[in-house]
């Protein structure tokens, strides 16, 4: 809610202008901040106690130092190491998020997501679905001992597969490198671009249906949810994407409320039903 509140003003300021709408420079700022916050939140834990300890040490350094002097000499080193790791991650995120925000702002302000609509969204949908199926379904099946229970051996074999006893370090195969690169591109390029294109395309429609105040909140909430999920739960995004597309385009097209809201609702439904 805090993150949505931070970006809501930029979204509202852009979408209340019916002429420019998602082409407004404030909407580009909104997109940059949204992607940066989603990236940061995807790396944060839900337990904020450690984060609060780090922030309190920065804010109340003198009081913490006096308290440490009064304590005994026996100190558990684990909490301090945990605080140091969280502090290092915060410093890293501060740099990376700044770069992400400026890069996304530069890409969006170029109007590439506006001029090339709806082709760019359709192309990104196909690319995201294809990359997801290849990365998370086909390649793992190829590496199984009995792929689809139709083959007697793995289709993608390691270098040591036929060796009785491995004496050297395992060799990294080309398909393992390809898998890592596909995961990286899917997580950091394909899905952020897809959701940015979706935001640009559907935001004016959402505001037209719900009004500028509620519509801006819906766009901010859905955009943050989608982008955070693309960073933290890339494994299942292609399933949600494909199911959302076919469900709202062929089964129940009359129930669609733009792809942005459709994907948001389907991602929540999928997360609730996945365990069953």
- Tens-level pLDDT at each residue, the chain (276 residues): 778 888 888 888 888 876 767 788 888 899 999 999 999 888 877 666 666 666 666 665 555 555 555 555 566 677 677 777 777 888 888 899 899 999 999 988 888 888 888 889 999 999 999 999 999 999 999 999 899 989 888 898 888 888 888 888 888 899 999 999 999 999 999 999 999 999 999 888 898 888 888 988 999 999 999 999 899 888 889 999 999 999 998 888 888 888 999 999 999 998 888 776
Peptide bond into 139 cis (omega under 30): no
pLDDT in the model for residue 44: 77
Burial 5-28 (b: 16+ CB within 10 A, else e): eebbebbbbbbbeeeebbbbebbb
The overall longest dimension of the chain from CA atoms, in Å, is: 70
- Quote the domain boundaries for residue 193: 2-273
Cα–Cα distance for residue pair 101/183, rounded to 1 Å = 21
pLDDT in the model for residue 73: 58
Number of domains present in the structure of the chain: 1
| pTM for the predicted model, two decimal places | 0.84
């Amino acid at each position: 809610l805090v993150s949505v509140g931070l970006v809501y003003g930029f979204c509202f300021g852009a979408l209340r202008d019916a002429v420019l709408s998602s082409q407004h420079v404030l909407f580009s700022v909104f997109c940059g901040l949204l992607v940066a916050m989603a990236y940061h939140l995807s790396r944060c834990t839900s337990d904020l106690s450690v984060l609060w300890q780090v922030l309190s040490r920065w804010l109340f350094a003198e009081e913490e130092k006096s308290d440490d002097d009064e304590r005994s000499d026996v100190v558990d080193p684990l909490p301090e190491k945990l605080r140091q790791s969280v502090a290092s991650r915060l410093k890293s995120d501060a740099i990376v998020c700044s770069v992400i925000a400026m890069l996304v702002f530069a890409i969006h302000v170029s109007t590439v997501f506006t001029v090339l609509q709806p082709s760019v969204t359709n192309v990104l949908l196909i690319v995201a679905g294809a990359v997801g199926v290849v990365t998370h379904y086909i390649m793992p099946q190829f590496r199984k001992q009995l792929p689809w229970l139709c083959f007697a051996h793995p289709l993608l074999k390691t270098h040591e597969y036929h060796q009785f006893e491995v004496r050297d370090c395992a060799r990294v195969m080309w398909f393992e490198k390809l898998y890592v690169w596909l995961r990286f591109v899917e997580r950091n390029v394909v899905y952020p671009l897809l959701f940015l294109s979706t935001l640009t395309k559907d935001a004016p429609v959402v505001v037209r249906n719900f009004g500028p105040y509620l519509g801006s909140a819906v766009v901010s909430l859905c955009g943050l949810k989608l982008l955070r999920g693309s960073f933290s739960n890339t494994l299942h995004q292609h399933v949600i994407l494909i199911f959302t597309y076919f469900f709202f385009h062929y089964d129940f097209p009359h129930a669609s409320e733009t792809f942005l809201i459709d994907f948001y609702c389907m991602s929540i439904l999928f997360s609730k039903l996945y365990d069953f």
